[in-house]
Amino acid sequence: MGQSIFVPKEIDVTEGRVAVSPETVKRFVGLGFDVVVEKNAGEQSRIVDAEFEKAGAKIGKASDAGKADVVLKLRRPTPAEAKTYKKGALVLASMDPYGNEGDVAAMAAAGVTAFAMEFMPRITRAQSMDVLSSQANLAGYRAVIDAAAEYDRALPMMMTAAGTVPAAKVFVMGAGVAGLQAIATARRLGAVVTATDVRAAAGEQVQSLGAKFIMTEALKDASGDGGYARELTDEEKKAQAELVAEHIAKQDIVVTTALIPGRPAPRLSVRTWSSP
């Protein structure tokens, strides 16, 4: 009998993904693992249990987590979930540990070994395991699609004999993986796109996608380690906020993607984005 892998159904009602697909199940089985997928784990991803069974997995229940050597999840396990895992089990998920120290302590108390997949080094050898880039890419795309639906008007310029409807103005804040995908998607839908980032080097990437890059002159460059942005000084925050407030008042859609590793994401206040 080989090592066992358990894939639970995500308990967060907002989470529609599942940690494995039938293709990855087949690979695990081929490597000698016994794979158990909780009943209806793939339901929200439109993967029925029969597809997992066809790939070689067994369909189980939540209590099977206690027998598994490896637990694969999307989101960090809750303290209640961690208590059900076998001591010494490996748990792989996006752990989001900052600000959730209690949950991390619960995993330690349960005696499991946790791997935070979002901390995977961004090196060539680990590219196929880069969960941040793959999911951020999808998030940037989905943000624009959802925004277009909420906007409830056409994004491209529409010209007919009856008149002209101007193109929607889309402003993307943050030009990392998610931001660049949001820019590309908005451009494909015909919007007029502008973007900002505190990293000066992002300007060329924004312009290569056909968008206009805006950045306050008071901010020279805020590139940090690993290609991420560093936290701004109070003076830089003020200058950036003034630029953003003035620009947002003229926009139809704003997509925010900026992140700072280990710190809360920058937030827009109502005062910042409300039109005068």
pTM over the 0.85 mark: no
What CATH number does the domain containing 76 carry? 3.40.50.720
Last residue of a domain, one of 121, 152, 186: 121
Q: Provide the CA 180 distance to its chain's centre, in angstroms.
A: 13
Last residue of a domain, one of 121, 152, 170: 121
AA letter at 250 = K
Known catalytic residues? Answer: 122, 127, 130, 133, 228
Burial class (CB in 10 A: 0-12, 13-18, 19+), 250: exposed
Regarding whether 68 and 146 lie in a shared domain, the answer is no
Q: Provide the token pair at 257.
A: 């993607």
Note whether residue 244 is domain-resident.
Answer: yes
Note whether residue 127 is domain-resident.
Answer: no
Q: How far apart are CA 87 and CA 163, in angstroms?
A: 69
Regarding whether 256 and 139 lie in a shared domain, the answer is yes
Regarding whether 163 and 247 lie in a shared domain, the answer is yes
Q: How far apart are CA 252 and CA 147, in angstroms?
A: 10
Asked if 6 and 60 touch (Cβ cutoff 8 Å), the reply is: yes
| Domain count along the chain | 2
List the chain pLDDT tens, one digit each, 276 residues.
679 999 999 999 899 999 999 999 999 999 999 999 999 999 999 999 999 999 999 999 999 999 999 999 999 999 999 999 999 999 999 999 988 999 999 999 999 999 999 988 878 888 888 888 889 999 999 999 999 999 989 999 999 888 899 999 999 999 999 999 999 999 999 999 999 988 888 899 999 999 999 886 655 655 555 555 556 667 777 777 788 888 998 999 999 998 777 777 777 765 545 544
Which structural domain range is residue 38 located in? 4-121
